[in-house]
Amino acid sequence: MSKEQKKGLQRIAAGLLVFACGFLVPEESTAAFGIFLFCYVLVGWDIVWEALKNLLHGRALDECFLMTLATVGAFALGAYSEGVAVMLFFRIGEWFEGYAVGKSRRSITSLMDIRPDYANVERDGALVQISPAEVQIGDTIVVKSGERVPLDGKVLQGHSLLDTSALTGESVPREVRVGAEVLSGCINKTGMLTVATTRVFADSTVEKILALVEQSQQKKAHIENFITRFARYYTPLVVAGAVLLAVLPPVFMGQPFATWFYRALTFLVISCPCALVLSVPLSFFSGIGGASRQGILVKGSNYLEALSKTEVVVFDKTGTLTQGEFAVRSIHAVGMAEREILRLAAHAEAYSNHPIAESIRKAYGDALDMESVKDAEELAGNGVCAVVDGKKILAGNSRLMQNGKITFEALQEKGTVVYVAADGQYAGAVVIRDELKKDAVLAIRSLQECGIKKTVMLTGDSDAAGRAAARALAINEVYTELLPADKVEHVERLLQEKSAKGMLAFVGDGINDAPVLMRADVGIAMGGLGSDAAIEAADVVLMTDEPAKIAVAIRIARQTMCIARENIVFAIGIKVMIMLLGALGYASLWAAVFADVGVAFLAVLNAMRAMRISTVSGSAADNPLVSGETAL
């Protein structure tokens, strides 16, 4: 609880004590008036002052104005206790609302604690503590046990366990050894690590997360915008209704003015829209906070709303549903030794950073003779072309062979096939296979359980590899051997096929996925080790790189929307009913204040449910591929 909240609670307690003392003297006495007036000033002077300031600046019709008008009117009628009760219980309701908002905000802003304060940098053989912003790429930093990793990098020395819960929501520590990537914001739990930085602080994982958190609070859902517009017209209408209620019956029906003025005040108190104005945004705020606890960063409540309407989920394959860790499984040689084919392919891929290229170089094992490689060129979506030892080498997919007019024999083996040609002659092929992520089957099954109408896979991989993965995962549709532009075309077609109210989500992790992520209704990126471009283009980021979290995000989004709608129906329904009773004389100011504060309090409590939405839909242990064969 903050100092401000403690002061507010103390003020309310003092107000309640003075309010109780007012009933110890005759209600119509001067002493009672003095006690209740003191209590009124104690608990409500700032609300009255805010109402006067707003009135002077042309912003009269807000909740402070409504409360001031109703309570001053009650004092004018001699209903001192009721006037104080309206202000006192309004203050109590405000305190509970503020506490709820603060708790929800802390669930998100607690991420701010992941920003590191310093970095231990090796300078002239000694460790120096400097600001992480001063560390450059390639600098060597030391992370001691118990310290937070200040920047992204690769482990040069050491072995330890990292607490990644602040980034991913996962409570199980992650083991890291030499060569492993570490992300800023994690806590080193055991041994000391020596790390070579790979990014400056401004581009680090922790800074990106904090930027996403700030963005998430700025983008409103349609239903939030509706409530804002609703309150803008609703408040003037109820004030006009209260004026008519106070004036028309006495003027045209000869009714007592005091009676109808009292009813108008009751009408005003009940009509205060704070339950709606606060609880609906709080529902989304809590939903975003609940998602962040699961390692899911949503960039705004508008994307949470779009997620709740998702009907079609489209996946990239490599790095999204598969681990992206390729390995050479077989070599098919034609006219030369297998080792020679692997050598030529490895040298042709020498300058490529694609996972397939890395797997070929890893399988070759020996050091590359870079002087023997000339005119290397990467052909997007096809492969590579390079001159190796004076020979023009083509290494890539079947499309590259066709474009080069190479006569070759297409392989139907599972996996990604890299065909190799030397000086226009087909030399053979290298077959590389990836493995499904442990929760990939669970991810698709969970989406089907969520009611997703269609799952689709778009991949640039070979037809055999793509269809094998789709069969293993039970995906509805699969399109293979696609260029980045082809993926965009397929997504645009799928956008036209879905229902008018439905949404399409695309899930990817690579640089070439950025255009598709931006074109989809909802772009979902793998954020743990996904590309910067994909994370920037996406609307939702999965910090754990687990596709099973997609169903969790959809479930949170749908339940958040349900909670927001419940609050709207509940608040409007109760208020309309009590407003009618108040206008007919069946509800007093006491009933009005309890109805207003009670509705707001219950709506806020309901909104807070979004913080702890149940997301259990199975576990990786249920996945039959965890202990079985996962290679594709």
Per-residue confidence (pLDDT) for residue 170, from 0 to 100? 55
Domain boundary among 182, 209, 236: 209
pLDDT digits 0-9 by tens, 336-374: 899 999 999 999 999 887 778 888 999 998 889 888 999
In the set 139, 152, 316, 434, the catalytic residue is 316
Calculate ∠ Cα 146-152-156, nearest 5°: 75
Per-residue confidence (pLDDT) for residue 575, from 0 to 100? 78
Instruction: Report yes or no: 69 and 572 within 8 Å, Cβ to Cβ.
Output: no
In a domain, 539, yes or no: yes
Q: Is the pLDDT of residue 506 over 90?
A: yes
Q: Is the pLDDT of residue 470 over 60?
A: yes
**Phi-psi domain of 542 (left: phi exceeds 0; alpha: psi -120 through 50; beta: other):** beta
331 and 301, same structural domain?
no
Per-residue confidence (pLDDT) for residue 273, from 0 to 100? 67
* Cα separations in angstroms, 551 against 313, 472, 591: 10, 19, 44
Per-residue confidence (pLDDT) for residue 310, from 0 to 100? 93
431-453: average pLDDT: 89
In a domain, 536, yes or no: yes
The question of whether 163 is a catalytic residue gets the answer no
Domain boundary among 176, 209, 242: 209
- Nearest partner of 228 among 185, 157, 281, 178, judged by Cα: 281
298-314: average pLDDT: 88
547 and 444, same structural domain?
yes
3-state SS, residue 155: strand
Sheet strand arrangement including 119-123: 126-130, 119-123, 140-143, 193-197, 153-157, 181-182
Q: What is the pTM of this model?
A: 0.66
99-106: average pLDDT: 60
Instruction: Report yes or no: 410 and 391 within 8 Å, Cβ to Cβ.
Output: no
Domain boundary among 557, 588, 618: 557
Specify the range with the lowest mean pLDDT, choosing from 214-218, 582-586, 599-603.
Answer: 214-218
In a domain, 335, yes or no: yes
Q: Is the pLDDT of residue 114 over 70?
A: no
Distance CA 240, CA 68 (A): 16
552 and 444, same structural domain?
yes
3-state SS, residue 297: strand
448 and 389, same structural domain?
no
Per-residue confidence (pLDDT) for residue 312, from 0 to 100? 93
Instruction: Report yes or no: 191 and 159 within 8 Å, Cβ to Cβ.
Output: yes
**CATH number of the domain within which 396 lies:** 3.40.1110.10
- DSSP-derived secondary structure letter, 435: B
451 and 310, same structural domain?
yes
Specify the range with the lowest mean pLDDT, choosing from 30-44, 68-82, 328-342.
Answer: 68-82
| H-assigned helices in 309-354 | 338-348
Distance CA 265, CA 70 (A): 5
In a domain, 255, yes or no: no
Question: Which of the two residues, 548 and 219, has the higher pLDDT score?
Answer: 548
364 and 345, same structural domain?
yes
Written as six digits, the tokens of 413 are 């083996």
Q: List the domain range (segments joined by +) for residue 190.
A: 117-209
Q: Is the pLDDT of residue 447 over 90?
A: yes
Residue 528 pLDDT level (bands cut at 50, 70, 90): low
584-608: average pLDDT: 76
Cα atoms in the 13 Å half-sphere on the side-chain side of 575: 24
Question: Which of the two residues, 337 and 95, has the higher pLDDT score?
Answer: 337
| pLDDT more than 90, % of the chain | 19
Number of domains the chain contains: 3
- Nearest partner of 238 among 206, 272, 209, 215, judged by Cα: 272
H or E element: which one contains 315?
strand 310-316
pLDDT digits 0-9 by tens, 253-292: 888 888 888 888 777 777 766 666 667 777 887 888 788 7
pLDDT digits 0-9 by tens, 155-173: 998 888 887 766 654 555 7
Per-residue confidence (pLDDT) for residue 105, from 0 to 100? 55
